[in-house]
Structure 1
Amino acid sequence: MRGLTVLPSGRPGRGRLYVNLPDGRAVAWYDRQTNRISVLADQHREAVLTALRPYLTGACTVGPPPVPTRAELRRLALPPDEDLAPNRPGETLLGELAHGSAGTRDRHRLRQELTAQQRMGDLLDGLEADGWRVLHCIPLRTLGRLDHLLDHLLIGPAGVFCIRSLPGRRQRAVVGDLLLGVGRADPRPDPRWIRRAASAATRALGVPATPSLAVVDASRVEVAPTVRDIRVLEPATATAALASSPPSLKPPDVEALFALARDARTWRGR
């Protein structure tokens, strides 16, 4: 059949490819993660396969759409303005920089923080091919109010991780129980904050969340021996360290938690 078009959906290279009729109606989609083609109208099956052939990688399964899981039903019922999945790394910092009200020193600090969040966010997004799911800029309820944004929430085989990204500024970074210091700058209370953030995520999702600090572009990172509850990540080794962590969640659990976490109402305490 002529006139079928193939349109992508979701993040480049990771989302589905939809096959549409000339009037815009979808007749099939190709899920690149599961390598499955779901055909809605069997009379278009051969035309769909012809249209998708340039995009297929290896042997794939062809059939009717699978029965939606509970996580998929939750996603389908999610209002677009409550969906956190489209958030980019450093979304709010981009807004602050675009507003232009900050002074020169503050703008320099914001750009450093944005670079750290974007670099770490890109690395975490790369884990999606291995069964992980990532959200960025999560509004957190800590100390009884919505007052902070969590840089990244990572959900995957090894569990749930609350991650705060910090610029190392090519200097020595020291992570202690209560404070984190970079170079000669005043120490920051990031270890205390990320613990509160992980506690808030644990309450919201109903599963343990690991507090994590990602230090980007430090000359070296030193962690006090008493710091045992916080995961300290560095871009050079973070992906391998997370991928090799002992598994604790099955794929359906990961998808169910991701569906819950991407709903902004989860974090407001519905």
Structure 2
Amino acid sequence: MTGLRVVPAGRPGRERLYVCQRDGRNLAWYDREAARVNLLGEDRRDEVLRALEPFLTGPVTVGPPPVPTAAELARLALHPDDDLAPNRPGEALLVDLDRAPGPARRLRPDPRRRALAAEQAVGAALDALAGGGWHTLHSIPLPGGDRLHHLAVGPAGILCVRSLPARGQRVLVADPMVTVGRREPHPLLHRLRADADRASHALTAEVHAVLAVVDAARCDVLAPPREVRVLRDTDLDALGRPGGVLKPADVEALHALARDRHTWLRL
């Protein structure tokens, strides 16, 4: 027994079998049509193959997804409505504020504007990594009305980054709960891990979760959270330092896939 679960998903003609841990985290996908087992990491390769053995109907290719061909990369010539690359940091909030700006005078600041300022600050920091071979997409819409704040693809891998506005307040992180100032604790890290998992599904590649805390007076992390990196907005340049995970061709191919709106519609 491997302790892993095999869960079917997909639509007719595009079935996949997902290999999951008991906590629901995905380790691999088996694409029946392509006869390929896509691994998020090599460390549990043998366990994954043992779990899938009853479902394999013939020879399969095992490993990360192949680099797209020149024909597949031609999809970069997207219709403007389908290309997410032009999205500004906080694009969804900008559109919402433009449609419904709210009253001119408010007793309290509009929380949407604080959230927008945080996304713009984090977005600017991530965009500054471009010189190091990184591509960043902002405000990626997901089915059901959700969205990813930022997705960065570069030599160190793929990062799903969520902005957290905390101007002048203390932030306390006690996995999975995050407390900002005197507000009620919120299981934000559950949400962030789910965002990264959805991005992994869409891109068929490992995606790491990052919580970017903006303008906090203090940020206390009681213990290193599971599979989430917590950084202040002033420390985001550290994300660009590690490298060697993705080759330049892989970065370009994954960015081409991620910028296509249709990639996210199948989630």
Give the TM-score taking structure 2 as reference length.
0.69
Deviations 1:75-132 (A, max 9, x none): 02x2221000000001111122222364636862111000000011011111111100
Which residues in structure 2 correspond to 1:162-241 (within 5 Å)? 162-239=160-237, 241=238
Deviations 1:197-253 (A, max 9, x none): 0010000001010111110000121112151310112122111x2122242000000
C-alpha distance 71-251 of structure 1, shift in aligned 2 (>3 A): farther
Mapped contact 1:212–1:232 kept (Cα < 8 A):
yes
C-alpha distance 71-125 of structure 1, shift in aligned 2 (>3 A): farther
The structural deviation recorded for 1:72 is 4.2
**Secondary structure of 2:142 counterpart:** strand
Amino acid at match of 1:130: G
Are 2:97 and 1:97 equivalent residues in the alignment? yes
**Secondary structure of 2:110 counterpart:** helix
**Secondary structure of 1:152 counterpart:** strand
C-alpha distance 129-70 of structure 1, shift in aligned 2 (>3 A): farther
C-alpha distance 87-106 of structure 1, shift in aligned 2 (>3 A): farther
How many angstroms apart in 1 are the aligned matches of 2:131 and 2:240?
Answer: 11
Are 2:159 and 1:161 equivalent residues in the alignment? yes
How many angstroms apart in 1 are the aligned matches of 2:169 and 2:108?
Answer: 19
Structure possessing the higher radius of gyration over alpha carbons: 1
Are 2:82 and 1:82 equivalent residues in the alignment? yes
Match of 2:145 in 1: 147
Match of 2:57 in 1: none
**Secondary structure of 2:160 counterpart:** strand
Name which of 252, 258, 261 aligns with 1:261. 258
The structural deviation recorded for 1:185 is 1.4
Give the TM-score taking structure 1 as reference length.
0.68
Amino acid at match of 1:134: T
How many angstroms apart in 2 are the aligned matches of 1:223 and 1:69?
Answer: 45
**Secondary structure of 1:265 counterpart:** helix
How many angstroms apart in 2 are the aligned matches of 1:106 and 1:140?
Answer: 30
The structural deviation recorded for 1:148 is 0.5
**Secondary structure of 1:256 counterpart:** helix
**Secondary structure of 2:131 counterpart:** helix
**Secondary structure of 2:85 counterpart:** coil
Mapped contact 2:176–2:225 kept (Cα < 8 A):
no
Mapped contact 2:90–2:119 kept (Cα < 8 A):
yes
How many angstroms apart in 2 are the aligned matches of 1:199 and 1:89?
Answer: 21
C-alpha distance 81-107 of structure 1, shift in aligned 2 (>3 A): farther
Are 2:244 and 1:243 equivalent residues in the alignment? no
Match of 1:127 in 2: 129
**Secondary structure of 1:154 counterpart:** strand
Across the two proteins, how many residue pairs are aligned to each other?
A: 197
How many angstroms apart in 2 are the aligned matches of 1:106 and 1:254?
Answer: 43
Amino acid at match of 1:82: D
RMSD (CA atoms): 1.9
Match of 1:31 in 2: none
How many angstroms apart in 2 are the aligned matches of 1:140 and 1:100?
Answer: 22
How many angstroms apart in 2 are the aligned matches of 1:168 and 1:217?
Answer: 6
Larger relative CO (CA 8 A, sep 6+): 1 or 2? 2
Match of 2:116 in 1: 114
Match of 1:52 in 2: none
Stretches of structure 2 that go unaligned for 5 or more consecutive residues are 1-68
The structural deviation recorded for 1:189 is 2.5
**Secondary structure of 1:186 counterpart:** coil
How many angstroms apart in 2 are the aligned matches of 1:231 and 1:149?
Answer: 19
